Chains A and B, each alone.
Chain A
Amino acid sequence: GAVVSQHPSWVICKSGTSVKIECRSLDFQATTMFWYRQFPKQSLMLMATSNEGSKATYEQGVEKDKFLINHASLTLSTLTVTSAHPEDSSFYICSAASRNTGELFFGEGSRLTVL
């Protein structure tokens, strides 16, 4: 079946640094990818919709300058958490919609810890 891979699976960084998380569709093309954030024991919250070749669409309350999203190809979207602070520590999950079928597949998630 279709696979979505996220890298890194977990990352620890110092406050003030930037962290990039990659989301790749391994065996299908995805014109649209989505980024979610999940706090402990809470549900997934949609952060933004990433469209290949165009600017991402951010949900209300999500800072676009804080969470930079780039979708340069049909198989890769990246989320960069800029000037990370401890409150940005969370589990970030991406999903990718198949270009052919529209079906959605999820990555395994990336855990960010900001010290």
Chain B
Amino acid sequence: AQRVTQPEKLLSVFKGAPVELKCNYSYSGSPELFWYVQYSRQRLQLLLRHISRESIKGFTADLNKGETSFHLKKPFAQEEDSAMYYCAPDKAGGTSYGKLTFGQGTILTVHP
């Protein structure tokens, strides 16, 4: 069965500390993987996708096919990073960027 798991529902760190939000997936084929973020009272928005290999707001995510993981990392967390983060593989295999399966989400809180 195709599945995505974010094991941590809540994650708290202090400002300036490194942060890693875990995501593991179980998918057939080669899904495209995304991280979405939802700040307080805002809509869901794309943070980054693995195919572009870019860094957004200091966040990076490496796709590890051996471990089937796509963990989100940032070396120095900022208070404005506090938000809900979703890992999301594309069910359509990257052809539509739309048929996403969302993980359970991780609420990141960065304390001053």
Contacts and interface: CB of A to CB of B under 8 A. Distances in A.
Contacts of A44: 44, 86, 100, 102
Interface in B27-82: 42-46
Nearest to B34: A104
A103 B104 contact: no
Interface residues of B, number: 17
Q: B-side binding surface: helix, strand, loop or mixed?
A: loop
A106 B102 CA distance: 13
Chain A interface extent, by class: 20 to 34
A93 B84 CA distance: 16
A49 B98 contact: yes
Contact of B45 (A49, A106, A109): A106
A9 B98 CA distance: 22
Interface of A: 4, 32, 34, 36, 42-46, 49, 93, 95, 97, 102-104, 106-109
10 contacts: A36-B102, A43-B102, A43-B103, A49-B99, A95-B98, A95-B100, A102-B98, A104-B46, A106-B43, A109-B43
Interface of B: 42-46, 86, 91, 96-105
